[in-house]
Amino acid sequence: MASVIEQCQVAPSPGSAAELTLPLTYFDHVWLAFHRMRRILFYKLPISRPDFIQTIIPTLKDSLSLTLKHYLPLAGNIACPQDWSGYPELRYITGDSVSVIFSESDMDFNYLVGNHPRDAKDFYHFIPQLAEPKDAPGFQLAPVLAIQVTLFPNHGISIGFTNHHVAGDGATIVKFVRAWALLNKFDGDERFLDKEFIPFYDRSVIKDPNGVGMSIWDKMKKYMHMMKMSDIVTPPDKVRGTFIITRYDIGKLKNLVLTRRPNLTHVTSFTVTCAYVWTCIIKSEAAIGEEIDENGVELFGCAADCRAQFNPPIPPSYFGNAIVGWFKEYDKVDAKRSVSVAGSPKLDFYAADFGWGRAEKLEFVSIDSGDSISMSLSKSKDSDGDLEIGLSLPKTRMNAFATIFTHGLSFL
């Protein structure tokens, strides 16, 4: 489905620092046992195979190398002590690099970028797998980023990213992607790289006077025997669907909430959208004949960006994880009774313009993972104020969800 044109390693450009080591904070520890994050950006670009090889590949490699000069940890590894006696850390040394695959596919580009249900397995041809960990004296080194660029001749290009969540949250990754896009668009001219895209590395801003980090690490070590440093990919038997909720419908949902809870002073688009999708997901299970325990606990999980909550605030360009969720609650419920959200309307992946215009479609492939249901949430590609929801469900349940979602909005 995707044949390899070239496989290479891209290192930070000359003049980069020789090495960089970042200790993990308590924001990072909880992601050690988490599945890898996988995203694909699709771009409409009617380009031929020769042009792709002669122009697109060289400029992407050059601009990526320049970008990695600023984002050194993404070219490095997670260094984990062999016996887990010490803290893991992010480590870059000269010679480290990012694995990049350039490939070609004859799949239907328009099918892949549609909103209708599409076979989830089809997207796994366009995301890379992280290389196997390698041993070093006293440590195991696991890469944190891999990239795959795929040509759909005369139709478009996709760029697939796989990263370990320990390296950074969505705010960090979107800044890296947009920085790469800017440098590619403007032929490597770093004057176009705004300050917001230059990472802030000082981990001392994460204060821990109460020893929260040590407490979390002690708990995490209990799960280390379950951890897989290898990147394991298992395409699911599901379909992927995309749903748009307009700002007009969001406004009506907000009004509905405020009429029932008049004491609320502010209701966010994020809250009402997640709440509406969650109820539709639960209703879809009943609609396909599944038995539901009326007294059972349903759990919805989301992570909150804490950068602005610190005193003083952490810089928005802080590199790493600065999001928090209440993971201990997951121990109290069946994973199949939980829904979580990936992404945020504040993170605009669609704005990553490599010189080919805004992306045509964003797919959060990693929402396929696990027994629980995950939804992705992002800004709409075309309209300010609209939101885009991504779901991965068994086909019959996706059909039920789509009917319930559309029907419910029509009655607002």
Q: Catalytic site residue 353?
A: yes
The reply to whether 165 belongs to the active site is: yes
For residue 90, the one-letter residue type is L
Collect all residues with Cβ–Cβ distance below 8 Å to 68 and sequence separation of at least 6.
10, 11, 12, 13, 16, 74, 75, 98
State how far the Cα of 116 lies from the Cα of 138, in Å rounded to an integer: 49
Q: Give the active site residue among 29, 70, 164, 165.
A: 165
| CA–CA gap between residue 61 and residue 135 (Å, rounded) | 28
Contacts of 259 (CB under 8 A, 6+ apart): none
Supply the DSSP symbol for 56. I
| Strands in 58-97 per DSSP E | 77-81, 89-93
**For residue 235, is the peptide bond before it cis, meaning its omega torsion is within 30 degrees of 0?**
no
In the block, tokens 């419910």 appear at: 408
The length of the chain, given as a count of residues: 412
Catalytic residue among 51, 119, 334, 353: 353
Q: Counting Cβ atoms within 10 Å, is residue 13 exposed (0-12), middle (13-18) or buried (19+)?
A: middle
Residue 234: CB atoms within 10 Å? 8
CA dist., res. 190 & res. 15, Å (int): 14
Catalytic positions, please? 165, 353
